[in-house]
A and B are shown apart, each in its own frame.
Chain A
């Protein structure tokens, strides 16, 4: 039985008390960020425990050039765009898909790559491009959908590949060497696919504890307890508190799908730059489903706002409030940087929940609820 909320909170407090210095944990995944905020967990954490949001949010790390490519496809090539709702408001140089739709382009929000394929099936005269975003959890779904398109001969379907890999990004972050991190809260659902062992290099090469946790509030708190135990004992361990769904070796069928359809590639991350072997592209046998090739798109360069600190923010090097644009031109209603776009974006979450952090701290203690 998982310990209750109060017990977990007390354990965190005791551990932080013993450690008695500032502890900085990166929650790599945007869904952890959102869940922690939505469940009000920050108000339960000890003062010397700080959570830093990492580069695990596709909205934040998909470079402008891919948004621009989608816009070009719709505007110039009359292609219907199918996308997860997450990407609708992400600004490229030419605007966002939301604004493009308002100008008359056909942009469909789908909840699965298979729905995008279904649109292509239903409208054989149209050309449908699916925006393939997300990490290891989502990429196999795109792979399976490409295989389905091939099997059923649906040639008016293509994918704009933006899939990325988590572990290379974590390693790149550590190799840059300037982020003071005590450990990683690792994404539960990526780990379902990759297996827990995928984080072994992080632990071995960089001596950073990695704890895999799910997204329910109890899981997050339990993951943090395990991380603090590692920090306190000074031992970098790889732990998994999400054993209900995460095994050591991952999901073989999903990994096979990815291996069949994709190859790894050096990939640009928004505001971070190119990280070696951190992205996925379609393997040569599936190039005809690649929207960039099919429509001979040229991916340009990104032109992020020079003052925008999103790159620093998603590497844990800066807090949103340190950005000169934060709340001065960049707000959730008119985002300049990607971290202000989705509710899980670090800046948007800060804007939403932390702008009044002081006011929040001054409030009376919340009522006790035991799990």
Chain B
């Protein structure tokens, strides 16, 4: 039997022909994408989605997602693709309205993997209460790549009452995080070939728009929010310090890191401060709003372990500094690039 002419459901891997724009492409979209993602804006399969819009400002963002392996404890590429873009909109202060989904699939990707990832995309979108309203699928020749690349773009609506941005950050402001850091990056490490280990760690990938909305509508004067993804907590703090030319002091003992993550970081020779997260935000608030911000975060399930970790100062030159458990002090910088496990 010619495999290309076989019904799709007897084919267990994506083939180049699935991207050819013909019958198989239609089957792929209908049976494997629309079946899970369907909504009234996506269903007509027009070239673009028409969204009603009220007056005011729109926030527009895009991000591409590449992760090895595609599935890992606590998530998969689909979950981070939806949560990541939702979070990028949310940290801007916007309410996410709609996402686009672009899939670049490598020939040979098992269909059941694709199905699980699309199911995860659908579930995460429901969790974030946002719809995927337009999309695109391409199939590329088999390479030594990772099988699936995802791009999501998103639009959100910026309420006129929200003013978050680096320009609002001032000395004496307080810095918070919404929970334990480093879980995502360490989880990915734990399933990577050559360094793998079994772990109770799970990725923290999650859409944070609910948490952020709770914070923004709870009467807290929120000045700045950013999700601490690649580059970790250190990366975000270095960004704030550099852009505002202000210093930030953080306290090691206050930074939430689970003992399991701390052990994993020690095993790999990594600093939890520079390890990636997919469900953590750094939030800067006015000093007298620290307690209310913390309470607002802790009321949300994704902020139960939120903590005040430090504050902004006008010390010059601008540096991020860590007061260590040992009672010492050091400068924190963003990592070089790819974090590699070390033995030394």
A214 to chain B, nearest CB (A): 13
Asked whether any CB of chain A lies closer than 8 Å to the CB of B6, the reply is: no
Among B11-19, B62-70, B129-137, B312-320, the stretch that binds chain A is B312-320
Asked if A109 meets B195 with Cβ closer than 8 Å, knowing A86-B342, A342-B344, the reply is: yes
CB distance A39 to B325 under 8 Å? yes
Asked if residues B315 and A344 are in contact (CB atoms below 8 Å), the reply is no
Distance between B111 CB and nearest chain A CB, rounded to angstroms: 25
Inter-subunit contact B327/A9 (CB<8 Å): yes
| A363–B331 alpha-carbon span in the complex (Å) | 12
A356 at the interface (CB under 8 A from B): yes
Task: Tally inter-chain residue pairs, CB-CB below 8 A.
Answer: 120
Q: Does B54 touch A at the CB level, under 8 Å? A: no
- A371 touching B331 in the complex, CB below 8 Å, given contacts A85-B342, A332-B336, A363-B315: no
| Contact assessment for A44 and B343 in the assembled complex, using a CB-CB cutoff below 8 Å | no
Residues of A contacting B324 in the complex (Cβ-Cβ under 8 angstroms): 38-40, 217, 369
Q: How far apart are the CA atoms of A356 and B332 in the complex, in Å?
A: 12
The answer to whether A342 and B342 have CB atoms under 8 Å apart is yes
C-alpha spacing A171/B336, complex, angstroms: 35
Bound form: Cα–Cα A359–B343 in Å: 32
Assuming the contacts A109-B195, A111-B195, A363-B315, asked whether A43 and B343 have C-beta atoms less than 8 A apart, the reply is no
Q: Are B344 and A218 in contact (CB under 8 A)?
A: no
Assess the B336–A39 pair: CB atoms within 8 A.
no
Q: How far is the CA of A9 from the CA of B324 in the complex (A)?
A: 14
Which residues in chain B, 150-199, are within 8 Å of chain A measured between CB atoms?
Answer: 193-195
Task: Assess whether B321 is interfacial by the CB under 8 Å rule.
Answer: yes
User: Which chain B residues in 240-279 approach chain A with CB under 8 Å?
Assistant: 251, 253, 267-269, 271
Contact B341 A85 (CB under 8 A): yes
Judged by a CB distance under 8 angstroms, whether B301 is at the interface is: no
Q: Which residue of A lies closest to B335 (CB)?
A: A343
Interface size class of B (residues with CB under 8 A): 20 to 34
Is residue B330 within 8 Å, beta carbon to beta carbon, of the partner chain?
yes
Cβ–Cβ contact A369 & B343, under 8 A: no
Question: Which B residues are in CB contact (< 8 Å) with A111?
Answer: 194-195, 267-268, 341, 343
Whether B50 sits at the interface, judged by CB under 8 Å, is no
Closest chain B CB from A87 CB (angstroms)? 9
Q: Report the bound CA distance from A370 to B315 in whole Å.
A: 26
A9 surroundings in chain B (CB, below 8 A): 327
Contact A38 B342 (CB under 8 A): no
Q: Specify which chain A residues have a CB less than 8 angstroms from the CB of B342 in the assembled complex.
A: 84-86, 342
Complex: how many Å from CA A88 to CA B267?
18
* Complex-state Cα separation, A134 to B269, whole angstroms: 15
Q: Which residues of A contact B251 (CB under 8 A)?
A: 367
Q: Would you call A352 and B331 a contact (CB within 8 A)?
A: yes
B328 adjacent to chain A (CB < 8 Å) = yes
Instruction: Output the least CB separation between A98 and chain B (Å).
Output: 8
**Which of B317, B326, B340 sits near A88, CB closer than 8 Å?**
B340
> Please, which residue of chain A has its CB at the minimum distance from the CB of B333?
A352
How many A residues touch the partner, as a band?
35 or more
Considering the chains assembled together, what is the distance between the CA atoms of A370 and B325 in angstroms? 8
On whether the beta carbons of A218 and B341 are closer than 8 Å, the reply is no
Q: How far is the CA of A370 from the CA of B253 in the complex (A)?
A: 12
Contact, CB under 8 Å: B193 / A366: no
Query: Bound complex: CA of A109 vs CA of B331, how far in Å?
Result: 28
B327 surroundings in chain A (CB, below 8 A):
5-6, 9, 40, 44, 366-370
Q: Is the CB of B326 within 8 A of A359?
A: no
Q: Tell me the nearest residue of chain A to B323, going by C-beta.
A: A366
Which of these, A38, A115, A344, A367, contacts B330 with CB under 8 Å? A38
B249's nearest neighbour on chain A, judged by CB, is A363
Contact between A5 and B326, CB atoms less than 8 A apart: yes
Interface residues of B in 112-159 (CB under 8 A from A): none
Whether A31 is near chain B, meaning CB under 8 Å from some CB there, is yes
Chain A 58-93 near chain B by CB (<8 Å), digits 1 or 0: 110000000000000000000000101110110000
Contact A82 B194 (CB under 8 A): yes
Docked complex Cα distance between A370 and B271 (Å): 22
Q: Is the CB of A84 within 8 A of B328?
A: no
Tell me the complex Cα distance, A332–B333, Å. Answer: 12
> With A86-B344, A115-B195, A359-B317 known to touch, is A43 a contact of B268 (CB < 8 Å)?
no
| Contacting pair A40 B341 (CB below 8 A) | no
A327 CB to closest chain B CB, in angstroms? 14
B322 interfacial contact with A, CB 8 Å? yes
Q: Report A338-371 residues with CB < 8 Å from chain B CB.
A: 342, 344, 352-353, 356, 359-360, 363, 366-371
A356 touches B331 (CB 8 A): yes
Contacts known (A108-B193, A359-B317); A39 close to B340, Cβ less than 8 A: no
Smallest beta-carbon distance B325→chain A, Å: 6
What are 23 inter-chain pairs, A to B, with CB distance below 8 A? A38-B330, A40-B323, A40-B324, A40-B326, A40-B328, A40-B329, A41-B326, A41-B328, A43-B328, A58-B344, A59-B344, A85-B340, A85-B341, A89-B336, A111-B268, A115-B194, A217-B326, A352-B331, A356-B317, A359-B319, A360-B329, A366-B323, A369-B325
Given contacts A111-B343, A359-B316, 16 further A-B pairs with CB under 8 A are: A6-B327, A37-B330, A39-B330, A84-B342, A109-B194, A116-B194, A217-B325, A332-B336, A360-B319, A366-B323, A366-B327, A367-B251, A368-B327, A369-B324, A369-B326, A371-B326
Give me the 10 closest cross-chain CB pairs, A-B, nearest first.
A40-B328, A85-B340, A40-B330, A217-B326, A43-B329, A111-B195, A40-B324, A110-B194, A369-B327, A40-B329
